[in-house]
A and B are shown apart, each in its own frame.
Chain A
């Protein structure tokens, strides 16, 4: 490992220090990142649900949840608990297998995508060479789950909602992938770690957001549409389809869709932070500060501070974006389905293609600034 702290190595060393064989120590390490990923994503959902409710309340001069725990902090946990104990209804003459598989297929890929989210140089579950590609590939599984859910509900509104959701997911997948591709081209790698490393060194000035001014807007719009966030929450449109593909769902199966959309929102925010906002890098590079006060970058205590600062930075950036998404929710009116598809195919797609082309041209013209 190059720099920063090596959690896996030190964990295995620690266990071997207790006299365990190396293979057993490695085996014990394996479930840890998985559990951490699940826990992290779930806690992230709880926090963002709470934030969503509180920020919505503040934007509307309400108070929001208040009595469940301090400042209503336990409200999302109470919501979850309620969903767990609600009856799970499977409608008559539906396809029970597909009906159960639908929500699982929507949620699992989103959780899997957390594999590639880096919180620091070595604070990532797998540093895949095809990280971003994996994320895009995984996120295109969700439409299948949505279609399944809609189709198996034995309800024409659910079917329509499922079709709409699938259409929406597919049409926003492409501009999303194209805008990410531009960044990938600039950093010559699909690995999220490499993308962050390529932005590091100049602090806030080196972030991709300056080099991809159009790309990040496309990315954020497409990401909001992928998460079915409010300007684009047409699959569950209140006026026409009531709840879209989730009409027949109750209890925890409904909760899974809900969790899925929030996990997806946080995932998108995290990846936005990684791809465009320099990931774990702070606005003023830590190396520059340490050089000023004359501390070596390899000092153990400094490495611990840098690692925690990295986690804080990534989370801060991600939640800033979640905040923006919540504000957007109360600012922008919902679009119609034809406007949604128009925006996806007639605006975002050509613009992202042009953006990709421009990035390629700039990369050839100014290789020093655009990662030649």
Chain B
């Protein structure tokens, strides 16, 4: 009897396994009829989201060389080269640099900069042949990247969260179609209306 029980248990297990594999196959087969959502990168690019933390932008003239960015940085990364100007009795900035090969893009420096001379750009294409090329000085960081939406060579695509309701493929709608949900200004308008 014990042997029979073993056999039935074994058969049950086998049947169950077959059932699960069948279910799995059904799912995979169902995927065949879905359209690809591939972004064909050099020709199509995703528009970075609103609060995307890309390469850091630096404005030389706003910087007061307070070195707060160095202090809030997890690894003291920004290099601030300044000299005390005895005539104006102020620090004078000579050079500023951040090594983006080491930076983790936490944007703490941007958050704490007292004069807002640091800001995050949308740029994420930072590849270089030599990692030393990633050490950006104040001139390199002063450059503003070209916007994906302005580039005639690139078809801009939006991420899932920025698509209209019911659309899950960015290829299906133009990138100017309104996104799902209300925009902040619309909510504000409604609030004003409710008030007055």
| Contact surface of A with B, Cβ cutoff 8 Å | 55, 57-63, 327-328, 330-332, 347
Instruction: Kindly list chain A residues whose C-beta atoms are within 8 Å of the C-beta of B150.
Output: none
Q: Pick 29 A–B contacts, CB within 8 A, sort by A.
A: A55-B32, A57-B36, A58-B31, A58-B32, A59-B28, A59-B32, A60-B31, A61-B31, A61-B35, A61-B37, A61-B38, A62-B36, A62-B38, A63-B38, A63-B40, A327-B25, A327-B28, A327-B29, A328-B21, A328-B25, A330-B28, A331-B21, A331-B24, A331-B27, A331-B28, A332-B21, A332-B24, A347-B10, A347-B14
Helix, strand, loop or mixed for chain B's interface? helix
Report how far A102 CA is from B40 CA in the complex, Å. Answer: 40
Instruction: Kindly list chain B residues whose C-beta atoms are within 8 Å of the C-beta of A60.
Output: 31
Q: Judging by beta carbons under 8 Å apart, are A63 and B36 in contact?
A: yes
Instruction: Kindly list chain A residues whose C-beta atoms are within 8 Å of the C-beta of B10.
Output: 347
Q: For chains A and B in complex, what number of residue pairs have CB atoms within 8 angstroms? A: 35
What 0/1 pattern do residues 21 to 63 of B give for CB contact below 8 A with A? 1001101110110111110100000000000000000000000
Instruction: Kindly list chain B residues whose C-beta atoms are within 8 Å of the C-beta of A55.
Output: 32
Report how far A223 CA is from B21 CA in the complex, Å. Answer: 17
Q: Judging by beta carbons under 8 Å apart, are B36 and A61 in contact?
A: yes
Instruction: Kindly list chain A residues whose C-beta atoms are within 8 Å of the C-beta of B27.
Output: 331
Instruction: Kindly list chain A residues whose C-beta atoms are within 8 Å of the C-beta of B36.
Output: 57-58, 61-63
Which chain B residues numbered 105 to 153 have a C-beta less than 8 Å away from chain A? Answer: none
B155 smallest CB distance to A (angstroms)? 15
Instruction: Kindly list chain A residues whose C-beta atoms are within 8 Å of the C-beta of B35.
Output: 61
Chain A's closest residue to B14 (CB) is A347
Partner of A61, one of B24, B29, B34, B40: B34
Instruction: Kindly list chain B residues whose C-beta atoms are within 8 Å of the C-beta of A58.
Output: 31-32, 36
Instruction: Kindly list chain B residues whose C-beta atoms are within 8 Å of the C-beta of A347.
Output: 10, 14
Report how far A58 CA is from B21 CA in the complex, Å. Answer: 19
Report how far A166 CA is from B83 CA in the complex, Å. Answer: 72
Report how far A58 CA is from B35 CA in the complex, Å. Answer: 8
B177 smallest CB distance to A (angstroms)? 21
B10 smallest CB distance to A (angstroms)? 8
Report how far A292 CA is from B25 CA in the complex, Å. Answer: 39
Instruction: Kindly list chain B residues whose C-beta atoms are within 8 Å of the C-beta of A57.
Output: 36
A300 smallest CB distance to B (angstroms)? 41
Report how far A60 CA is from B38 CA in the complex, Å. Answer: 10
B153 smallest CB distance to A (angstroms)? 17
Report how far A302 CA is from B104 CA in the complex, Å. Answer: 72
Chain B's closest residue to A231 (CB) is B21
